[in-house]
Structure formats: C-alpha cells, structure tokens
Amino acid sequence: MASTPYDILIIGGGPGGYVAAIRAAQLGSKTAVVEREHLGGICLNWGCIPTKALLRSAEIYHYAQHPEAYGLKIEGKVSFDPAAVVKRSRGVSAQLNGGVAFLLKKNKVDVIWGEATISKVGEVTVGASSKPVVQPQNPVPKGVLGAGTYQAKHIIVSTGARPRVLPGIEPDGKLIWTYFEAMVPTTFPKSLIVMGSGAIGIEFASFYATMGCEVTVVEVLPQIMPVEDAEIAAIARKRFEKQGIKIMTSTKVVKVEKGANDVTCTVEDDKGVKQSLRAERMISAVGVVCNTENLGLEKIGVKLDRGAVVTDGHGRTNVPGVYAIGDVAGPPMLAHKAEHEGVICVETIKGLHTHPMEKTMIPGCTYCHPQVASVGLTEAKAKEAGYTLKVGRFPFVGNGKAIALGEPDGLVKTIFDAKTGKLLGAHMVGAEVTELIQGYVIAMNCETTEEELMHTVFPHPTLSEMMHEAVLDAYGRVIHS
C-alpha cells in the first residue's frame, strides 16, 4: 500500500497515460501509473511505432527494386530477410519503451505493475496481472510497486482499446491475424486477405504487397479508408490497384473456413453475389473495442456509451474525481489525440485555464504507399454542415520537388468557407504528406484565413509549396497548374 495518497493515479501507461503522468509531475502532483503489461501501450509496442519501422523496410525494399528510376544499378537480386525485418521493428519498440520508463523515473512518477480496479471513488486496488509483465527485449523492472490498495484524489482511466472480433471470424494467431500477429510473422505469406480498409488494414495491405504478397482488401462500405475525403480515397485506391492490390468495396465477409495452411473466405457484395477467396493468411482489421471491462466503472456509476467512457472536452466523467482519456474515451482513436487529451485533463485538474478538445482539428495519418493525411471536414461533411465552399486542388505532378523525388502522383486539397475564408479541412495523398499536414493543423488552430495563407512564403523547392498552391487554387489564383 502507498504510504501517502497520490494526487493523480493513472490506469494505463500508453501514450495518453504516460504523457498525462509526466505533465502531472511537472505541475507538482504526486503521481503514479498502473500498467499491467508494457509501458508505451499498443502504440509504442504494437501499433504506431513498430508498423512504421516495418513500412520503412518496405519503402527501402521498393526503391531497391527500382534503382534504374534514379539512374542507379544494383547488381544481383534484391531480397529481404523476414526475421531481420521483424527484429528491426521490435528493436525500435524496445528502445522507445525503455525511453518511457526513463522519462517516468526522471519525473519521479511511480510505476505500479498489475491490473487495476477502482474499488471506490478515490481508491484503486491493484492485483497481479493476467498478462506477462514483460518489456519488449527488456527484463521486468526491479524495485517497482505491485499489488495493493492505493488512494488517489484523482483517477484517470487510460486503458486504451483492443482489436474488434467479429462472431465466427475469431483470430487464432495462426491463420487469422490481428495486428499483433501481422507485425511479427515468422515467414511472410504469399497471399493475404485483409478484412477492413481503415488505417490499420490499409497499412498492412501496403506493407505486405510491397514485400511481394498477393493482397486482397475487403471493405463493407462503398469507399476504402471511409473516414477520408472521397476524392483522396479514390486516388489512393487507384494507386493501390496499380501496385497489384485487389480491392473489393461494398462487400462483406460472411464466412471463413480454415484449412491446414490457408483460409477460405466467402464474401458477398451489395447485390447479393457471393464468391470465395483463398489465401495463406487473413488479417482482421475491423476496428477496435474500448478496454472498459473489470475496471469497476459500472460499480461507481461512470457513464458509458457504446463501450466508451463518456467525458466532457476536459476528460471529466459524470463521477467527480474520475476521468478518462485516449481510446477508452472514444474516437478518434489516435495516439496524438490521447496525449493531448491527457495534458488537457491534468491541467484541468490542476486548475489551469484549458481549452476543450476540438476533435475536428485532430489530424489523421495513414502511412501506406502513397501516404494519406487529413484534418478537418471532408468536402461531403462540409456540404452537409451547410457551408458554401471554395475548394482548391494541386497535383504532385506540378511540383518540382515531387518530380525530383520521383513521386509525381498525388494531390493536395483544401476546403474553405466561401463566406468567411475559414479553412474547414485539408486532405492529401502522396509522398510525405503525413509530415506536411501539420502546417494546415496549425493554420486551423490559429484561425488563419485564406488571405493569410496566400501571403505566407513557402520555401522552394519543397513539397510544401503544393499547400500554398492548393489555397491559391481555391480562389482562382493558382500559379503552377
């Protein structure tokens, strides 16, 4: 048992939890994090970071296969070592995992290992973890706190989410994978069915296709990447199909049969036509489910909605002294949303002046090839909201840096309110757009108008010049198109 009560105790050491803990410690709070498995959460250990390491290996492999496009020669056949690709990815996670532990220790945040239950408001009981407490490639930390009862003035729930499982299509870790198994294959399959075309599904489809796998993506909705602007998603689809990825939209998986070494999926389109697909492996990427079970939330009366904890824009639940941040508090389920939400929540607890989370200003990034990035309203959503629009577009083929990079395919799209010049949304597909989108995010947060963006000087030659041109195009002033 803790000798003195904590000011703030956080359940879950993922991006939201550990960032909230560090901010709380910076503001002078006695702080603890309860973690049952590994610091950094899904993002650092099994999501954002290791998948980017895999995708980087795929990107290098792609370029090595096409050296002639850059006036280069590579003698002999280009190949890859599956075990080495996975090892590099896990090594990147391990390095950053250790970094989180260091940051918590540096900020004097206590780490309590085990599974937490809120026994009553202001009290958390921690029991032994049902999962192995193992840091990737690191030993279990010594000298940390464990099972016991801990008092806390404020309790923040940051327990994240897990892959959604559809009835009859339960992943088995062998033939049917979630993103856990997809990141650590012992061998790469020659054929793959990906069920779901959100960010997770598309990133894995892109990775495995680049590594030589025959990939089929099955999406129940009419559009791949359903949260993205339809025009951007259509461009991305054409690029994926050009790379050899087969895409089936308005199609659902109705049955899965496992063989000795493969799976057979029966799929049905929106006209009722069925067909069979066979592949060595299948990835189920149909969303995630909030981790709200066995936390004692119902016992103390915390309100839930469709499995997510209901909060206001500051992380407060309906029960005083209990808060929720990150995936467990609902969409968008993104690490950077969780981190920012954690800071807002802690600063609210400490009485600082805070602004509520504005979800329309949270950027989304998908690290496939080509990359996709966006912020704000899509064109369709902006029209639904009743805005009169000015829409600007600029193609990658009109940008000198894109051509020099050998990446002439892509588009930057901007959406403005015609009456006020307010930037409502920005959407991109193409090389490095995940690094570009933040410029528009800053513009939206600063309530920048089209006039200010037009007067901004963008460096040449850069991909960012397309951001300027897309604004100019919305107002009939584009220069290079």
- Based on the fold, state whether residues 10 and 105 are members of the same structural domain: yes
The verdict on whether omega for the bond into residue 226 sits within 30 degrees of 0, i.e. cis, is no
- Based on the fold, state whether residues 305 and 345 are members of the same structural domain: yes
- Based on the fold, state whether residues 18 and 117 are members of the same structural domain: yes
pLDDT at res. 133 = 47
Count of other CB atoms within 10 angstroms of residue 143 = 5
- Based on the fold, state whether residues 203 and 346 are members of the same structural domain: no
Instruction: Please give, one letter per residue, the 3-state secondary structure of 226-260.
Output: CCCCHHHHHHHHHHHHHCCCEEECCEEEEEEEECC
- Based on the fold, state whether residues 401 and 255 are members of the same structural domain: no
pLDDT at res. 156 = 98
Of the three residues 360, 387, 421, the one that is the final residue of a domain is 360
Of the three residues 252, 286, 320, the one that is the final residue of a domain is 286
| Band (134; pLDDT cuts 50, 70, 90) | very low
- Based on the fold, state whether residues 35 and 91 are members of the same structural domain: yes
Of the three residues 256, 286, 316, the one that is the final residue of a domain is 286
Q: Is residue 242 pLDDT above 70, yes or no?
A: yes
- Based on the fold, state whether residues 20 and 111 are members of the same structural domain: yes
Q: For residue range 115-130, what is the model confidence (pLDDT) as tens digits?
A: 999 999 999 999 987 7
Q: For residue range 397-427, what is the model confidence (pLDDT) as tens digits?
A: 999 999 999 999 999 999 999 999 999 999 9
| Band (140; pLDDT cuts 50, 70, 90) | very low
- Residue 378 and residue 229 in contact, taking contact as beta carbons nearer than 8 Å: yes
Q: For residue range 172-209, what is the model confidence (pLDDT) as tens digits?
A: 999 999 999 999 998 899 999 999 999 999 999 999 99
The residues annotated as belonging to the active site are 460
**Residue 427 covered by a domain:** yes
Count of other CB atoms within 10 angstroms of residue 28 = 9
Question: Tokens representing 395?
Answer: 């193609």
CATH number of the domain that residue 433 is part of: 3.30.390.30
**Residue 251 covered by a domain:** yes
Give the range of the structural domain holding residue 425, as residue numbers without chain letter. 370-474
pLDDT at res. 11 = 98
- Based on the fold, state whether residues 220 and 294 are members of the same structural domain: no
- Residue 217 and residue 199 in contact, taking contact as beta carbons nearer than 8 Å: no
**Residue 41 covered by a domain:** yes
| Band (136; pLDDT cuts 50, 70, 90) | very low
| Band (137; pLDDT cuts 50, 70, 90) | very low
**Residue 239 covered by a domain:** yes
Q: For residue range 43-80, what is the model confidence (pLDDT) as tens digits?
A: 888 889 999 999 999 999 999 999 999 999 999 899 99
CATH number of the domain that residue 242 is part of: 3.50.50.60
**Residue 271 covered by a domain:** yes
- Based on the fold, state whether residues 94 and 238 are members of the same structural domain: no
132: exposed, middle or buried (Cβ count in 10 Å: 0-12, 13-18, 19+): exposed
Average pLDDT across the chain, whole number: 94
Total of domains in the chain? 3
- Based on the fold, state whether residues 233 and 137 are members of the same structural domain: no
**Residue 16 covered by a domain:** yes
- Based on the fold, state whether residues 130 and 216 are members of the same structural domain: no
**Residue 267 covered by a domain:** yes
pLDDT at res. 473 = 98
pLDDT at res. 2 = 46
pLDDT at res. 335 = 96
Cα–Cα nearest to 16, from 330, 318, 305? 330
Q: For residue range 302-339, what is the model confidence (pLDDT) as tens digits?
A: 999 999 999 999 999 999 999 999 999 999 999 999 99
- Based on the fold, state whether residues 93 and 180 are members of the same structural domain: no
pLDDT at res. 132 = 54
| Band (147; pLDDT cuts 50, 70, 90) | confident
What are the C-alpha distances in Å from 346 to residues 34, 121, 296, 316?
A: 16, 18, 22, 10
**Residue 76 covered by a domain:** no
